[in-house]
Amino acid sequence: MSVFRILVPLGGVTLFVILLRYVDLDELARQIQTVGIAGFAAVLAVHALSFLCDVLLWQLAFPPSRATRRQWWTWYRIRLIGEAWNNALPLASVGGEPLKARLLKNRFGLDYTASGAAFLIAKTANLVALVAFLAIGFAWMLGDTRFARAWQWTAGLGLAAFALGAWLVWLAQQGRLTRLMLALTPASLRGSPRLARAVHAIEDFDAALVAGYRAAPRRIVAIVALAFLTWIAGVFEILIILAAVGHPIGFMEAWVIEAAAQLVRAAAFFVPSGLGVVDGSFVLVTATITGSTPLGFLVAVVRRARDLAWIGLGFVAGLGFGRLTKAPGAAP
Protein backbone atom coordinates (compact mmCIF):
# COMPACT_ATOMS: atom_id res chain seq x y z
CA MET A 1 0.00 0.00 0.00
CA SER A 2 2.89 2.38 0.70
CA VAL A 3 4.14 1.84 -2.86
CA PHE A 4 0.62 2.43 -4.18
CA ARG A 5 0.35 5.70 -2.27
CA ILE A 6 3.56 6.88 -3.89
CA LEU A 7 2.93 5.62 -7.43
CA VAL A 8 -0.63 6.92 -7.79
CA PRO A 9 0.15 10.61 -7.07
CA LEU A 10 3.35 10.28 -9.12
CA GLY A 11 1.33 8.90 -12.04
CA GLY A 12 -1.09 11.83 -11.76
CA VAL A 13 1.76 14.35 -11.79
CA THR A 14 3.33 12.58 -14.78
CA LEU A 15 0.07 12.73 -16.74
CA PHE A 16 -0.29 16.42 -15.89
CA VAL A 17 3.25 17.08 -17.20
CA ILE A 18 2.51 15.11 -20.38
CA LEU A 19 -0.56 17.28 -20.96
CA LEU A 20 1.63 20.36 -20.65
CA ARG A 21 3.66 19.23 -23.65
CA TYR A 22 0.63 19.68 -25.91
CA VAL A 23 -0.12 23.21 -24.77
CA ASP A 24 1.30 26.52 -25.94
CA LEU A 25 2.67 27.70 -22.60
CA ASP A 26 3.00 31.30 -23.75
CA GLU A 27 -0.66 31.35 -24.78
CA LEU A 28 -1.64 29.66 -21.50
CA ALA A 29 0.29 32.28 -19.51
CA ARG A 30 -1.44 35.07 -21.45
CA GLN A 31 -4.85 33.56 -20.74
CA ILE A 32 -4.08 33.16 -17.03
CA GLN A 33 -3.10 36.83 -16.88
CA THR A 34 -6.35 37.71 -18.64
CA VAL A 35 -8.38 35.79 -16.05
CA GLY A 36 -6.45 37.79 -13.45
CA ILE A 37 -7.13 38.26 -9.78
CA ALA A 38 -10.70 39.40 -10.38
CA GLY A 39 -11.63 36.31 -12.38
CA PHE A 40 -9.97 33.98 -9.89
CA ALA A 41 -11.69 35.77 -7.01
CA ALA A 42 -15.04 35.23 -8.75
CA VAL A 43 -14.29 31.51 -9.08
CA LEU A 44 -13.37 31.33 -5.39
CA ALA A 45 -16.56 33.22 -4.45
CA VAL A 46 -18.72 30.69 -6.34
CA HIS A 47 -16.84 27.85 -4.68
CA ALA A 48 -17.30 29.42 -1.24
CA LEU A 49 -21.07 29.62 -1.82
CA SER A 50 -21.06 26.03 -3.05
CA PHE A 51 -19.19 25.00 0.07
CA LEU A 52 -21.77 26.80 2.21
CA CYS A 53 -24.48 24.66 0.59
CA ASP A 54 -22.31 21.63 1.36
CA VAL A 55 -22.05 22.64 5.02
CA LEU A 56 -25.82 23.22 5.26
CA LEU A 57 -26.66 19.81 3.80
CA TRP A 58 -24.13 18.27 6.16
CA GLN A 59 -25.80 19.92 9.15
CA LEU A 60 -29.23 18.79 7.98
CA ALA A 61 -27.99 15.19 7.91
CA PHE A 62 -27.60 15.33 11.71
CA PRO A 63 -30.66 14.89 13.96
CA PRO A 64 -31.87 18.42 14.81
CA SER A 65 -31.81 17.72 18.54
CA ARG A 66 -28.15 16.71 18.39
CA ALA A 67 -26.69 19.45 16.21
CA THR A 68 -25.80 22.95 17.37
CA ARG A 69 -26.64 25.00 14.29
CA ARG A 70 -26.07 28.44 15.82
CA GLN A 71 -22.30 28.17 15.55
CA TRP A 72 -22.36 27.90 11.77
CA TRP A 73 -18.79 29.20 11.38
CA THR A 74 -17.50 26.33 13.55
CA TRP A 75 -19.35 23.85 11.34
CA TYR A 76 -17.95 25.57 8.26
CA ARG A 77 -14.44 25.42 9.68
CA ILE A 78 -14.67 21.73 10.65
CA ARG A 79 -15.99 20.89 7.20
CA LEU A 80 -13.20 22.94 5.62
CA ILE A 81 -10.52 21.11 7.61
CA GLY A 82 -11.94 17.68 6.80
CA GLU A 83 -12.32 18.39 3.09
CA ALA A 84 -8.71 19.60 2.92
CA TRP A 85 -7.66 16.13 4.06
CA ASN A 86 -10.17 14.47 1.74
CA ASN A 87 -8.70 16.27 -1.28
CA ALA A 88 -5.11 15.67 -0.24
CA LEU A 89 -5.37 11.93 0.46
CA PRO A 90 -6.00 9.05 -2.03
CA LEU A 91 -8.84 7.59 0.02
CA ALA A 92 -11.94 8.13 -2.15
CA SER A 93 -12.69 11.44 -0.41
CA VAL A 94 -13.19 9.82 2.99
CA GLY A 95 -9.79 10.37 4.60
CA GLY A 96 -10.99 13.47 6.42
CA GLU A 97 -14.20 11.95 7.82
CA PRO A 98 -12.62 10.53 11.03
CA LEU A 99 -11.03 13.93 11.64
CA LYS A 100 -14.41 15.67 11.23
CA ALA A 101 -16.01 13.19 13.63
CA ARG A 102 -13.36 13.82 16.25
CA LEU A 103 -13.68 17.60 15.95
CA LEU A 104 -17.47 17.41 16.17
CA LYS A 105 -17.23 15.27 19.29
CA ASN A 106 -14.76 17.69 20.89
CA ARG A 107 -16.74 20.79 19.96
CA PHE A 108 -20.38 19.69 20.18
CA GLY A 109 -20.29 16.39 22.06
CA LEU A 110 -21.69 14.47 19.07
CA ASP A 111 -20.98 10.75 19.38
CA TYR A 112 -19.25 8.85 16.60
CA THR A 113 -22.33 6.78 15.70
CA ALA A 114 -24.41 9.92 15.04
CA SER A 115 -21.56 11.52 13.08
CA GLY A 116 -20.91 8.41 11.03
CA ALA A 117 -24.57 8.04 10.10
CA ALA A 118 -24.83 11.72 9.17
CA PHE A 119 -21.67 11.53 7.07
CA LEU A 120 -23.00 8.53 5.16
CA ILE A 121 -26.38 10.18 4.58
CA ALA A 122 -24.65 13.32 3.27
CA LYS A 123 -22.34 11.26 1.03
CA THR A 124 -25.29 9.30 -0.33
CA ALA A 125 -27.19 12.51 -1.04
CA ASN A 126 -24.16 13.79 -2.93
CA LEU A 127 -24.05 10.57 -4.96
CA VAL A 128 -27.76 10.78 -5.82
CA ALA A 129 -27.43 14.44 -6.82
CA LEU A 130 -24.33 13.66 -8.87
CA VAL A 131 -26.14 10.88 -10.75
CA ALA A 132 -28.90 13.37 -11.66
CA PHE A 133 -26.31 15.99 -12.64
CA LEU A 134 -24.40 13.51 -14.82
CA ALA A 135 -27.59 12.22 -16.42
CA ILE A 136 -28.55 15.72 -17.58
CA GLY A 137 -25.06 16.30 -18.97
CA PHE A 138 -25.09 12.93 -20.74
CA ALA A 139 -28.52 13.61 -22.26
CA TRP A 140 -27.20 16.88 -23.68
CA MET A 141 -24.07 15.17 -24.99
CA LEU A 142 -26.19 12.65 -26.91
CA GLY A 143 -27.69 15.47 -28.94
CA ASP A 144 -24.34 17.13 -29.68
CA THR A 145 -22.77 15.94 -32.94
CA ARG A 146 -19.36 17.28 -31.91
CA PHE A 147 -18.93 14.27 -29.64
CA ALA A 148 -17.96 11.00 -31.29
CA ARG A 149 -20.23 8.02 -30.82
CA ALA A 150 -17.45 6.22 -28.93
CA TRP A 151 -17.33 9.07 -26.42
CA GLN A 152 -21.08 8.94 -25.95
CA TRP A 153 -21.03 5.17 -25.38
CA THR A 154 -18.17 5.50 -22.90
CA ALA A 155 -19.95 8.25 -20.99
CA GLY A 156 -23.20 6.28 -20.99
CA LEU A 157 -21.58 3.11 -19.67
CA GLY A 158 -19.69 5.09 -17.05
CA LEU A 159 -22.89 6.80 -15.93
CA ALA A 160 -24.75 3.46 -15.77
CA ALA A 161 -21.99 1.91 -13.65
CA PHE A 162 -21.89 4.93 -11.36
CA ALA A 163 -25.68 4.96 -10.95
CA LEU A 164 -25.65 1.24 -10.12
CA GLY A 165 -22.94 1.82 -7.53
CA ALA A 166 -24.92 4.68 -5.95
CA TRP A 167 -28.04 2.52 -5.79
CA LEU A 168 -26.12 -0.31 -4.10
CA VAL A 169 -24.67 2.14 -1.57
CA TRP A 170 -28.16 3.38 -0.74
CA LEU A 171 -29.59 -0.16 -0.63
CA ALA A 172 -26.92 -1.32 1.81
CA GLN A 173 -27.98 1.38 4.26
CA GLN A 174 -31.61 0.38 4.58
CA GLY A 175 -31.12 -1.74 7.71
CA ARG A 176 -29.00 -4.27 5.83
CA LEU A 177 -25.47 -3.58 7.08
CA THR A 178 -25.69 -6.05 9.97
CA ARG A 179 -27.08 -8.82 7.79
CA LEU A 180 -24.44 -8.15 5.17
CA MET A 181 -21.66 -8.35 7.76
CA LEU A 182 -22.99 -11.63 9.16
CA ALA A 183 -23.36 -13.10 5.68
CA LEU A 184 -19.71 -12.35 4.94
CA THR A 185 -18.43 -13.68 8.27
CA PRO A 186 -17.04 -17.27 8.34
CA ALA A 187 -19.16 -19.65 10.44
CA SER A 188 -16.18 -20.42 12.69
CA LEU A 189 -16.07 -16.80 13.91
CA ARG A 190 -19.75 -16.17 14.51
CA GLY A 191 -19.67 -17.12 18.18
CA SER A 192 -16.77 -14.90 19.20
CA PRO A 193 -17.32 -12.10 21.76
CA ARG A 194 -15.40 -9.66 19.54
CA LEU A 195 -17.81 -10.33 16.68
CA ALA A 196 -20.78 -9.87 19.02
CA ARG A 197 -19.49 -6.43 20.01
CA ALA A 198 -18.94 -5.53 16.35
CA VAL A 199 -22.45 -6.69 15.45
CA HIS A 200 -23.91 -4.61 18.28
CA ALA A 201 -22.02 -1.51 17.09
CA ILE A 202 -23.20 -2.01 13.51
CA GLU A 203 -26.78 -2.56 14.68
CA ASP A 204 -26.62 0.82 16.43
CA PHE A 205 -25.21 2.37 13.26
CA ASP A 206 -27.95 0.69 11.19
CA ALA A 207 -30.60 2.10 13.52
CA ALA A 208 -29.10 5.61 13.31
CA LEU A 209 -29.10 5.44 9.51
CA VAL A 210 -32.66 4.20 9.19
CA ALA A 211 -33.85 6.80 11.72
CA GLY A 212 -32.02 9.51 9.79
CA TYR A 213 -33.69 8.57 6.51
CA ARG A 214 -37.18 8.07 7.92
CA ALA A 215 -37.40 10.84 10.53
CA ALA A 216 -37.92 13.73 8.13
CA PRO A 217 -38.33 12.90 4.42
CA ARG A 218 -38.53 16.61 3.55
CA ARG A 219 -35.14 17.14 5.16
CA ILE A 220 -33.67 14.41 2.92
CA VAL A 221 -35.14 16.13 -0.14
CA ALA A 222 -33.55 19.42 1.00
CA ILE A 223 -30.19 17.67 1.47
CA VAL A 224 -30.28 16.25 -2.07
CA ALA A 225 -31.35 19.64 -3.48
CA LEU A 226 -28.44 21.39 -1.75
CA ALA A 227 -26.07 18.71 -3.03
CA PHE A 228 -27.34 19.31 -6.57
CA LEU A 229 -26.58 23.02 -6.20
CA THR A 230 -22.99 22.21 -5.24
CA TRP A 231 -22.52 20.34 -8.53
CA ILE A 232 -24.09 23.17 -10.55
CA ALA A 233 -21.62 25.61 -8.98
CA GLY A 234 -18.86 23.97 -11.01
CA VAL A 235 -20.74 24.91 -14.19
CA PHE A 236 -20.70 28.58 -13.21
CA GLU A 237 -16.98 28.41 -12.48
CA ILE A 238 -16.31 27.20 -16.04
CA LEU A 239 -18.54 29.93 -17.46
CA ILE A 240 -16.63 32.56 -15.48
CA ILE A 241 -13.20 31.28 -16.57
CA LEU A 242 -14.00 31.11 -20.28
CA ALA A 243 -15.93 34.40 -20.32
CA ALA A 244 -12.95 36.11 -18.66
CA VAL A 245 -10.72 35.27 -21.65
CA GLY A 246 -13.30 36.26 -24.25
CA HIS A 247 -14.51 32.75 -25.17
CA PRO A 248 -17.97 32.46 -23.62
CA ILE A 249 -19.87 29.21 -24.09
CA GLY A 250 -23.43 28.12 -23.41
CA PHE A 251 -24.66 27.02 -20.00
CA MET A 252 -25.31 23.44 -21.10
CA GLU A 253 -21.93 23.24 -22.83
CA ALA A 254 -20.29 24.16 -19.54
CA TRP A 255 -22.55 21.58 -17.86
CA VAL A 256 -21.20 18.84 -20.17
CA ILE A 257 -17.59 19.86 -19.43
CA GLU A 258 -18.20 19.74 -15.68
CA ALA A 259 -20.19 16.48 -15.87
CA ALA A 260 -17.40 14.76 -17.81
CA ALA A 261 -14.80 15.95 -15.31
CA GLN A 262 -16.85 14.74 -12.33
CA LEU A 263 -17.51 11.34 -13.93
CA VAL A 264 -13.78 10.90 -14.56
CA ARG A 265 -13.00 12.06 -11.02
CA ALA A 266 -15.42 9.49 -9.60
CA ALA A 267 -13.85 6.73 -11.69
CA ALA A 268 -10.33 7.76 -10.59
CA PHE A 269 -11.27 8.08 -6.90
CA PHE A 270 -7.93 6.57 -5.85
CA VAL A 271 -5.97 9.46 -7.41
CA PRO A 272 -5.59 12.42 -5.02
CA SER A 273 -7.90 15.18 -6.36
CA GLY A 274 -8.01 13.29 -9.68
CA LEU A 275 -4.66 14.87 -10.59
CA GLY A 276 -3.91 14.43 -14.28
CA VAL A 277 -7.01 12.45 -15.22
CA VAL A 278 -9.52 15.20 -14.42
CA ASP A 279 -7.26 17.74 -16.12
CA GLY A 280 -7.18 15.54 -19.22
CA SER A 281 -10.97 15.47 -19.19
CA PHE A 282 -11.11 19.27 -19.07
CA VAL A 283 -8.67 19.51 -21.97
CA LEU A 284 -10.43 16.96 -24.21
CA VAL A 285 -14.03 18.00 -23.65
CA THR A 286 -13.36 21.75 -23.68
CA ALA A 287 -11.31 21.37 -26.88
CA THR A 288 -14.18 19.43 -28.47
CA ILE A 289 -16.66 22.18 -27.62
CA THR A 290 -14.48 25.25 -28.27
CA GLY A 291 -11.93 23.89 -30.73
CA SER A 292 -9.12 25.19 -28.48
CA THR A 293 -6.82 22.93 -26.44
CA PRO A 294 -5.30 25.83 -24.42
CA LEU A 295 -8.78 26.80 -23.19
CA GLY A 296 -9.29 23.34 -21.72
CA PHE A 297 -5.96 23.49 -19.97
CA LEU A 298 -6.79 26.98 -18.71
CA VAL A 299 -9.93 25.61 -17.06
CA ALA A 300 -7.88 22.78 -15.55
CA VAL A 301 -5.18 25.13 -14.23
CA VAL A 302 -7.61 27.63 -12.69
CA ARG A 303 -9.56 24.82 -11.04
CA ARG A 304 -6.31 23.36 -9.71
CA ALA A 305 -5.38 26.76 -8.32
CA ARG A 306 -8.82 26.95 -6.71
CA ASP A 307 -8.35 23.49 -5.16
CA LEU A 308 -4.90 24.37 -3.84
CA ALA A 309 -6.19 27.62 -2.37
CA TRP A 310 -9.06 25.78 -0.69
CA ILE A 311 -6.85 22.97 0.63
CA GLY A 312 -4.44 25.57 1.98
CA LEU A 313 -7.31 27.44 3.61
CA GLY A 314 -8.45 24.19 5.20
CA PHE A 315 -5.04 23.48 6.69
CA VAL A 316 -4.78 27.07 7.94
CA ALA A 317 -8.25 26.74 9.50
CA GLY A 318 -7.05 23.61 11.27
CA LEU A 319 -4.18 25.33 13.08
CA GLY A 320 -4.89 24.85 16.77
CA PHE A 321 -8.42 23.62 16.11
CA GLY A 322 -7.76 20.07 17.30
CA ARG A 323 -7.09 21.38 20.81
CA LEU A 324 -10.67 22.60 21.18
CA THR A 325 -12.59 21.03 24.04
CA LYS A 326 -16.30 20.68 24.37
CA ALA A 327 -17.85 24.14 24.31
CA PRO A 328 -20.07 25.32 27.16
CA GLY A 329 -23.69 24.66 26.31
CA ALA A 330 -22.83 22.21 23.51
CA ALA A 331 -25.26 19.45 22.67
CA PRO A 332 -25.02 16.51 25.08
Contacts of 115 (CB under 8 A, 6+ apart): 62, 100, 101, 104, 105
- Is residue 181 one of the residues assigned to a domain? no
pLDDT value for 181: 58
- Is residue 325 one of the residues assigned to a domain? no
- Is residue 210 one of the residues assigned to a domain? no
Q: How far apart are CA 133 and CA 257, in angstroms?
A: 12
All residue ranges of the chain with pLDDT < 70 are 1-13, 64-70, 88-95, 174-200, 215-216, 272-273, 320-332
pLDDT value for 133: 95
Domains: count for the chain: 1
pLDDT value for 77: 87
pLDDT value for 332: 36
Residue 300 lies in domain: 24-172+216-317
Contacts of 177 (CB under 8 A, 6+ apart): 202, 205, 206, 209
One-letter identity of residue 181? M
Look over the chain and give the mean of its residue pLDDT values, rounded to a whole number.
Answer: 80
- Is residue 240 one of the residues assigned to a domain? yes
- Summary count for the chain: helices (H), strands (E): 12, 0
Q: How far apart are CA 121 and CA 128, in angstroms?
A: 11
- Is residue 130 one of the residues assigned to a domain? yes
- Is residue 204 one of the residues assigned to a domain? no
- Is residue 208 one of the residues assigned to a domain? no
pLDDT value for 134: 93
pLDDT value for 266: 82
- Is residue 192 one of the residues assigned to a domain? no
pLDDT value for 63: 73
Reported pTM: 0.82
